[in-house]
């Protein structure tokens, strides 16, 4: 429930400091794919400060449409990309929700989610964990989420599992950004190290992790230490407190829905998911993040994290990529019989410019199997494996993003 809790908290203090710099650009293309760029409201960064917030009811293509791609990044108030070593985009999440306006008008501060119904993706983590439709972080600029034609994520219809009285489809964007200008340890601040953020374990607001189990008593870093108002340790004597206005820029490619479009299911497979069974029914326990503490492991050069996740419903693999963090070596998705379904390689930056920052995993590769050539059976038990450098790392994530078609058109 972490995410929803955060939505609750954030909506209490909807940020109205800045003017919106929302504008958009539409480009037509011969096959009717439209591309529009949107911006969230601006928000303010300050050296060392953590910024966490949710933008409700953001701009999005309306009507019955199929989304082909959504790419996002952090930009300054003039729309210029900001490099990761100045402002680390820990994550952005795009989440779909439905609202009953009559009900939400009656919401009050103690129940700001009243009147909203959050719609998760097709993945199976418990409750609303990993429920987003799109979202990446450090890897946002170079990881493609582009779906091949004619496959789309279908939106603008009322899903059967959303109660009827929640009738208006809306979208929210949740972000966590750490301004690392002037900090003592850029890598540590990016990994939300509790000591650098001056959060003592007794001060943690949550003592339970996302999966409901207690946080380890030696929890050293991760999302629970990147609190909304945290300040990461600055270099001694650094006192340039320049504020900076920024925004999330997001570009969406989509088509009006018609018979030619093929809908996909979207699953996030989390390497921290520990599946237990109640009879044959799988119960998921996704922790979202994990840490590597080499003193405790002893696996040599690599840290290997692996789990088995059963897919209740199968289909044809159309596109696969992964959300990765710096330190990643590679990630592999295997079928139950051991066949390799997809191997993901990171893209590491080699320069200074945004999208190519040296030392950061700025993206991940993807797999586009020929539609119909690679299938997952109903109930198939997949294996997810993430290999990292065996170095002290906190707040690490390993999530496969899997797009499946349940029915392929005969023409393919
Ligand atoms: C945080 O703590 C509350 C109260 O103990 C709990 O209900 C909630 O699930 C926790 N949120 C998480 C795991 O983010
Ligand atoms: C508003 O808050 C009060 C007290 O906190 C609560 O009893 C009431 O149910 C809330 N109403 C709504 C619509 O959330
Ligand atoms: C919204 O909720 C109210 C109160 O539950 C209900 O009376 C109304 O019919 C709902 N609106 C729609 C459009 O279903
Ligand atoms: C296990 O499944 C049974 C039968 O479907 C159900 O009654 C029970 O509540 C489930 N237990 C848990 C812990 O989910
Ligand atoms: C991933 O990296 C490990 C360690 O270098 C290597 O042994 C393995 O072959 C790699 N896997 C793939 C699929 O490239
Ligand atoms: C999936 O594989 C794991 C490890 O081999 C096993 O423990 C689990 O029972 C399997 N689940 C199913 C549904 O086959």
Q: What does 143-171 look like in DSSP terms, one character per residue? A: ---PPPTTEEEEESS--TTS-TT--EEEE
Q: How far is the CA of 63 from the centre of ligand 4 (A)?
A: 39
Of 310, 313, 382, 383, the residue with max ligand 6 atoms within 8 A of its CB, to mutate for a pocket test, comes to 310
Looking at the DSSP bridge assignments, the partners of residue 43 are: 246
107 within ligand 2 shell (Cβ under 6 A): yes
> Could you tell me the CA-to-CA distances from 98 to 66, 172, 181, 286, 353 in Å, in that order?
18, 10, 38, 24, 39
What contacts 24+ positions apart, CB below 8 Å, involve 78-84?
79/21, 79/39, 79/249, 81/141, 81/354, 81/355, 82/246, 82/354, 83/352, 83/353, 83/354, 83/357, 84/138, 84/190, 84/349, 84/354, 84/357, 84/360, 84/362
Q: Give the ligand with the smallest distance to the CA of 278.
A: 4
Q: How far is the CA of 376 from the centre of ligand 6 (A)?
A: 15
Give the pLDDT confidence score for residue 1 in this predicted structure.
41
330 within ligand 5 shell (Cβ under 6 A): yes
Q: How far is the CA of 395 from the centre of ligand 1 (A)?
A: 17
Give the pLDDT confidence score for residue 394 in this predicted structure.
96
> What is the rounded CA–CA span in Å between residue 89 and residue 175?
8
Nearest ligand 6 atom to the CA of 282 is 13
Give the pLDDT confidence score for residue 297 in this predicted structure.
56
Q: Which helix (H) or strand (E) holds 104?
A: helix 101-105
Closest C-alpha to ligand 5, atom 9 = 330
Q: How far is the CA of 133 from the centre of ligand 4 (A)?
A: 29
Buried b (16+ CB within 10 A) or exposed e, 311-338: beebbbbbbbbbbbbbbbbbbbbbbeee
Give the pLDDT confidence score for residue 229 in this predicted structure.
81
Q: Which residues form the pocket of ligand 3, taking CB atoms under 6 Å from any ligand atom?
A: 100, 102-103, 165, 167
210 within ligand 1 shell (Cβ under 6 A): yes
Instruction: Confirm if 268 and 126 have CB atoms less than 8 A apart.
Output: no
Closest C-alpha to ligand 1, atom 3 = 206
Nearest ligand 1 atom to the CA of 210 is 13
Give the pLDDT confidence score for residue 110 in this predicted structure.
81
Instruction: Confirm if 70 and 134 have CB atoms less than 8 A apart.
Output: yes
Q: How far is the CA of 107 from the centre of ligand 2 (A)?
A: 7
Q: Give the ligand with the smallest distance to the CA of 311.
A: 6
Structure tokens given for 143: 């990881």
CATH among 3.40.50, 2.40.128, 2.60.120, 3.30.70 for 266-405: 2.60.120
Of 110, 113, 115, 116, the residue with max ligand 2 atoms within 8 A of its CB, to mutate for a pocket test, comes to 110
Q: Give the ligand with the smallest distance to the CA of 279.
A: 4
> What is the rounded CA–CA span in Å between residue 296 and residue 216?
14
Closest C-alpha to ligand 3, atom 13 = 165
Q: Give the ligand with the smallest distance to the CA of 342.
A: 5
114 within ligand 2 shell (Cβ under 6 A): yes
Consecutive 10-residue averages of pLDDT for the chain (412 residues): 42 33 42 92 97 96 98 97 98 98 88 92 96 97 97 97 97 97 97 95 85 89 90 92 95 96 98 97 97 76 96 98 97 98 98 98 98 97 97 96 94 72
Q: Looking at the chain, which residues constitute the CATH 2.60.120 domain(s)? A: 266-405
Closest C-alpha to ligand 1, atom 9 = 1
How many CB atoms are closer than 10 A to CB 280? Answer: 7
pTM for the full predicted model: 0.90
Closest C-alpha to ligand 1, atom 1 = 206
The secondary structure of 256-274 as a DSSP string is: E--TT-EE-EEEEEETT--
């Amino acid at each position: 429930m972490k995410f929803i809790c955060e939505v609750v908290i954030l909506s209490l203090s909807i940020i109205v400091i800045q003017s919106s710099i929302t504008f958009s650009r539409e480009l037509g293309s011969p096959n009717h794919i439209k591309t529009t760029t949107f911006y969230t409201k601006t928000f303010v960064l300050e050296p060392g400060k953590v910024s966490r917030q949710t933008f409700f009811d953001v701009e999005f293509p309306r009507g019955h449409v199929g989304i082909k791609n959504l790419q996002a990044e952090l930009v300054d108030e003039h729309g210029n990309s900001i490099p990761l070593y100045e402002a680390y985009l820990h994550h952005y999440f795009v989440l779909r929700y439905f609202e009953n306006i009559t009900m939400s008008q009656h919401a009050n501060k103690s129940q700001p989610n009243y009147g909203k119904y959050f719609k998760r993706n097709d993945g199976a983590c418990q409750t609303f964990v990993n429920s987003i439709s799109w979202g990446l972080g450090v890897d946002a600029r170079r990881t493609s989420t582009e779906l091949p034609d004619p496959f789309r994520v279908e939106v603008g219809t009322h899903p059967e599992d959303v109660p009827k009285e929640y009738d208006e489809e809306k979208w929210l964007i949740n972000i966590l950004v750490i301004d690392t200008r002037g900090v003592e340890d850029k890598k540590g601040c990016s990994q939300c190290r509790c000591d650098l953020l001056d959060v003592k374990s007794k001060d943690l607001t949550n003592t339970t992790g996302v999966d409901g189990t207690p946080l380890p008593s030696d929890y050293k870093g991760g999302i629970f230490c990147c609190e909304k108002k945290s300040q990461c340790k600055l270099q001694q004597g650094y006192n340039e407190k320049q504020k900076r206005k920024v925004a999330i820029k997001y570009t969406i490619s989509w088509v009006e829905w018609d018979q030619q479009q093929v809908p996909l299911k979207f699953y996030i497979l989390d390497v921290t998911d520990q599946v237990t069974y109640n009879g044959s029914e799988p119960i998921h326990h996704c922790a979202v993040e994990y840490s590597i503490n080499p003193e405790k492991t002893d696996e040599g050069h690599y840290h290997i994290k692996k789990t088995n996740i059963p897919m209740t419903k199968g289909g044809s693999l159309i596109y696969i990529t992964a959300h990765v963090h710096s330190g990643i070596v590679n990630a592999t998705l295997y079928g139950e019989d051991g066949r390799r379904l997809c191997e993901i390689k990171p893209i590491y930056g080699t320069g200074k410019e945004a999208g190519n920052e040296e030392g950061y995993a700025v993206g991940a590769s993807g797999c586009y199997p020929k539609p119909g050539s690679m299938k997952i059976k109903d109930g198939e038990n997949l294996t997810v494996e993430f290999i990292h450098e065996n170095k002290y790392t906190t707040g690490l994530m390993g999530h496969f993003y899997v797009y499946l078609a349940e029915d392929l058109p005969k023409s393919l």
